[in-house]
Structure 1
Amino acid sequence: MSLIRSPKRQHDDHPAPDGGPAPRSGPAALLGLLTAAGGPRYAAALLVDALGTGLLRPFLLLYGIGVLALDAGTAGLAMSAGMVAGLLVLPLTGRWIDRGARSLPAAATLLVRAAGSVVLLADGTAGFAAAAVLLGVGGQSWPATHAAVVSTLTEGRTRDAALAAGRTLRNAGLGAGALLATLAVAGGTGALRLLAAVTGAACLLAAVLVHSLRVTAPQAPPPPAGAERAEGPALRRIGLLSVANLPYSFAFDVLEVALPALLVLHLHASPAWSSGVFVGNTVLVITLQLAVVVRLADRARHLVLAAGGIALALSYLGFWAAGALGGTAGAAGVAAVSVLFTLGEILYSGSGTALVAASAPPHLLGRALARWELSSGVGRALAPAALTALLAVGPHVLWPVLAVTTLLAAAAVARLRPVRGAAGPRVADPGRRGTCSHAPGPVVRKDTA
């Protein structure tokens, strides 16, 4: 594997200097970034995992009801328990990463999900609950472990683009898997059991591929006297980012919960409108995510994240206005505004994790990523109940509340000025290295944040 070099950053959140090499977009760049951040095996693992997960995730509730004959309340409660278990495990995952582990935690999350898929094949409520917990633990910890692997093998704006490339591939794989599952689900309970088995096999294969990389990072030496005080601003910054992330994270359930309810229940539109909005969002995210991240490489990450919040807030107001039109005109207006919503989502997902990874002191990378993903998970856990409750009162309550809270979060993010010396250990030890078994030598990180 060749040495990965990005423009040497003057600070974790500064734009890339003019004249430096910058990642490019396009299919060739996508492949290059995926192989740069872990090699062909890691890229294959991402694709296999995404395809396998897409086969089962949209139909997990249906599996519990249709195959195991559980009532909807019991199946939903088990799935919620799985999500809570995943959130509780996240801090432990972060500490594991901070001990220098990289590919092993990522492989472990995939292995746990493979076990959950296999347990699904057992009958009974206990088996479904155990499977939901295993799938929840593996699913919640995966984003942090993946970001840690990419952050160890790449740096600077190349890291941002590599994270975006991974999201693009994963979204494409999830979409393809869900499409295949939609076609297969007509086969009845036997087809659903087959989907569970194939998902388990895919996660197991991905776990083997990831573990074979053997990516590690050196454990940081004990911090010198006064280091905790120097790192205080960086830790506070990450804490504030995680709090601001809560209203941002509602955006994903706006697409999956609020908009379908608005279109079908309030505008009495055909469900096809909801499906069209979802498909359009997925296609735009897949095709534009990497290009937007690369295009905005000369912008400070915290300002890009704030711009994403502003775009989301404006789209919420747009949904409110479109819904007031009623009928087909309202549904068409919602579909049009969803393009602005998708842009906000792209800006948010393309800058959030990258900003946290760039802001974190190296020996606290795992805990910083875990804190960010914990806030996302809490937001997503609260979103369905909160959104449906607000919508039950009326769209005139739902959309203004979402717009105001997201705008406040965006304002807080915009005020987070870059903290000088936040990643001081990188300056003191520019030769910090992460190793990868497929590379001819160590992969050197030269971040100077």
Structure 2
Amino acid sequence: MSKAKGATMRRIQAGNALSAFGLGFTVPYLYVYVAQVRELGASTAGAVLAVFALTALVVLPFTGRVIDRRGPLPVLAVASLLASGGALAMGQAVGVPAVVLSAALLGAGTAVMQPALATMIVWCSTPSTRTRAFATQFFLQNLGLGVGGLIGGQIVDGSRPGSFTLLFSIEAAMFVVLAVVAATVRMPRAPSIPGAMPENTDGRARGGLRTLLGHRAMVQLCVLGFVLFFACYGQFESGLAAYGTEAAGIEPATLGYALAANTAVIVLAQFLVLRFVERRRRSRMIAGVGLIWAAAWLVAGYAGLGHGGQAMAAAAFIATYALFGLGEAMLSPTVAPLVADLAPESMIGRYNSAFAVVKQLALAVGPAVGGPMGATLHGPYIVTFVLFSLGISVLALRLGRNLTAVQDQPSLASASRIVVRHRPERGRARAGV
């Protein structure tokens, strides 16, 4: 990576960390703010959380095309200012219409940021450095969210609405900082892996969705991504939390400790795990995540059995979240850069946006399915998500058969100057195997 690219990457990562820091101030307290502080009730608070997901699903399908045509910088700048306005409005909102509109602005802005930031990281990296770049982004996001949440917890006071207004104002300021970063950096352009599509890439890129749906490896990755987010992130604050309190009988405070353990594992293990992941095939690492998460669900099942008393149940539940964190640390250097390495150079924004849509769908469906199951169908809930986790391993290994050697193991790019075709020849799983 050149010095210019390195300097630009550092500024992008710093802006990304600050925006995550701002989000950390408000995300844990949004429900309490709407339902209790503004006295709008639990149903309105639930509607506000739903608006975030719905708004993302509305704006993301159009985001990728704009990024590919205009570049990620102006898109990120506009999205940051939109989110900033939504955060400021949320801090002042007192009625249902104002709260819902503020949530829509904030949700749209934060949703568009994801593919824009991902595209910027792609442009400032090469296939061999992309793994570490996305791992760094994930590390800084979790660190920012964790630190923001801790500081926000010291500021917030349910009896003083002004304390929440301060939190949303800080969040808005962080988004403005990200917009300033987007407006001042000079972006180099780094192409994705040569031959990202099998043939006639430039001519077919205009086909947009049709081209993407005709790309077998990308479709497989989207299916895998849906299962990943559905089986993990879609359960954190819904089904798994309901299961823990209902079946395992843990105290609500233990959920906070479990989430803290999850973040701590990610922050502490990310770069240790990265050294292990960088030299290995992505498909096998994702398959390993499926096995780790299957073990996590089994530990959660043990917590619900009630053997060993309350303390043992709490410890098992915290261990469940910690195991999820280990899997997340392995995913961050594999899945996101793989999306970029599959994309033709002219469609990087659309590929990132398509994957973001899949993520949002999983995050919307996950709580709707997992919440009721976790609260009432304790045994079937655990069995279902053990099977989903094992399904991750199967899907990852199948995806590996449709990746080139360099796409599956980017470290080979620095070891060889040979350009590998996108799709392996028929009858062969991978070039060189």
What's the TM-score, normalizing by structure 2?
A: 0.83
For residues 146-185 of structure 1, the aligned pairs below 5 Å read 146-185=117-156
Q: Does 1:344 align with 2:327?
A: yes
2:25 is aligned with what amino acid?
A: L
Q: Distance in 2 between matches of 1:194 and 1:97?
A: 33
Does residue 313 of the first structure (1) align with residue 294 of the second (2)?
yes
Q: 1:196 aligns with which of 139, 150, 168?
A: 168
Mark the runs of 5 or more structure 1 residues left unpaired by the alignment: 5-34, 424-445
Partner of 2:181: 209
Quick check: 1:37–1:153 contact (8 Å CA) kept in 2?
no
Partner residue of 1:22?
none
Where does residue 113 of structure 1 map in the other structure? 83
Q: Paired residue for 1:427?
A: none
Per-residue Cα deviation, 1:242-294 (whole angstroms, up to 9, x for no partner)? 11222210302433333332332222223333222211111110121233123
**Change in CA separation of 1:448 and 1:214 when aligned onto 2, cut-off 3 Å:** farther
CA distance in 1, matches of 2:420, 2:109: 30
1:238 aligns with 2:209: no
Task: Name the structure 2 match of 1:263.
Answer: 244
Is the alpha carbon distance of 1:343 and 1:234 closer, same or farther for their aligned partners in structure 2, counting shifts above 3 Å?
farther
What pairs up with 1:278-297 in 2 under 5 angstroms? 278-297=259-278
For 1:73, give the aligned amino acid. Answer: S
Structure 1 84/422 Cα, relative in aligned 2: closer, same or farther at 3 Å? farther
Deviation at 1:447, TM superposition (A): 10
Matches of 1:133 and 1:93, distance apart in 2: 16
Name the structure 1 match of 2:112. Answer: 141
Question: Residue type of the partner of 1:260?
Answer: A
Identity over aligned pairs, percent: 26
CA distance in 1 between partners of 2:372 and 2:334 (Å): 30
Q: Which residue of 1 aligns with 2:344?
A: 361
Amino acid at match of 1:99: R
The higher relative CO (CA closer than 8 Å, separation ≥ 6) is in: 1
Equivalent in the alignment of 2:427: none
Equivalent residue letter for 1:315? A
State the one-letter code of the partner of 1:376. K
Task: Decide whether aligned partners of structure 1 residues 290 and 104 sit closer, same or farther in structure 2, where only a CA change above 3 A counts.
Answer: farther
1:249 aligns with one of 229, 235, 245: 229
Relative to structure 1, the CA distance from residue 84 to residue 232 in structure 2 (aligned partners, 3 Å threshold; closer, same or farther) is closer
2:221 is matched by which residue type in structure 1? L
Letter in 1 for 2:394: A
Question: How many correspondences in the alignment?
Answer: 396
Distance 1:112 1:262, change over 3 A: same
Q: Which amino acid counterpart does residue 209 of structure 1 have in structure 2? A: V
Give the Cα–Cα distance (whole angstroms) in 2 for the partners of residues 338 and 177 of structure 1. 20
Gaps (5+ residues) in structure 2? 193-199, 408-418, 423-433
Alignment map for 1:388-427 (pairs within 5 Å):
388-416=371-399, 417-420=401-404
Whole-angstrom distance in 1 between the partners of 2:191 and 2:395 = 33
- How many Å apart are 1:226 and its aligned residue? 7.7
Tell me, in whole angstroms, the C-alpha distance in 1 between the residues paired with 2:203 and 2:12: 39
Counterpart residue identity of residue 410, structure 1? S
Verify the 8 A CA contact 1:302 1:355 in the aligned structure 2: no
1:370 to 353, 357, 361: 353
Separation (CA, whole Å) in 1 of partners of 2:421 and 2:181: 31
Q: Does 1:97 align with 2:67?
A: yes
Cα distance change of structure 1 residues 233 and 184 upon mapping to structure 2, 3 Å threshold: closer
- Tell me the secondary structure at the aligned position of residue 350 of structure 1: coil
Alpha-carbon spacing, 1:361–1:422, altered in 2? closer, same or farther (3 Å)? farther
Q: Kindly tell me: are residues 54 and 243 of structure 1, through their superposed partners in 2, closer, same or farther at Cα, counting changes over 3 Å?
A: same
Shift of 1:65: 2.5
1:2 matched residue in structure 2: 2
Change (3 A) 1:226 1:380: closer
**Secondary structure of the corresponding residue to residue 152 of structure 2:** helix
Distance 1:223 1:167, change over 3 A: closer
Structure 1 residues 65, 344: closer, same or farther in 2, change over 3 A? same
Give the equivalent residue in structure 2 for 1:325.
306
The Cα shift of 1:332 comes to 2.3
Q: Which moved more, 1:309-318 or 1:376-385?
A: 309-318
CA displacement, residues 416-446 of structure 1 (integer Å, 9 cap, x when unaligned): 22445999xxxxxxxxxxxxxxxxxxxxxx9
Matched, 1:50 2:20: yes
Q: Are 2:272 and 1:302 equivalent residues in the alignment?
A: no
Q: Determine the C-alpha separation between the residues in 2 that align with 1:216 and 1:169.
A: 22
For 1:19, the equivalent position in structure 2 comes to none
Contact 2:64 2:352 in 1 (8 A): yes
Deviation, structure 1 residue 173: 1.0
Taking only aligned residues, the RMSD between alpha carbons, in angstroms, comes to: 3.0
The CA distance in 2 between the partners of 1:342 and 1:218, in whole Å, is 31
Q: Measure the CA separation in 2 of the matches of 1:293 and 1:219.
A: 23
Alpha-carbon contact 1:101-1:215 (below 8 Å) kept: no
Deviations 1:111-159 (A, max 9, x none): 1110101221243222111111111112222221111000001012311
Residues 336-369 of structure 1: CA deviation (Å, up to 9, x unaligned): 3443332222223331111111111211211111
Instruction: Go from structure 1 to structure 2 and tell me whether the alpha carbon gap of 1:275 and 1:118 turns closer, same or farther (over 3 Å shift).
Output: closer
| Residues 182/151 of structure 1: CA separation in 2 closer, same or farther (3 Å cut) | same
Q: 1:124 to 1:340 in 2, by over 3 A?
A: closer
CA contact (8 A) 2:21 2:147 kept: yes
Instruction: Give the CA deviation at 1:102.
Output: 2.0
Structure 1 counterpart of 2:34 = 64
Partner Cα distance (1:101, 1:447) in 2: 28
Amino acid at match of 1:199: E
**Alpha carbons 2:212, 2:351 under 8 Å: kept:** no
Counterparts of 2:114 and 2:81, CA distance in 1: 15
**For residue 267 of structure 2, what is the amino acid of its counterpart?**
I
Change (3 A) 1:252 1:37: farther
* Stretch of structure 1 that moved more, 169-178 or 258-267: 258-267
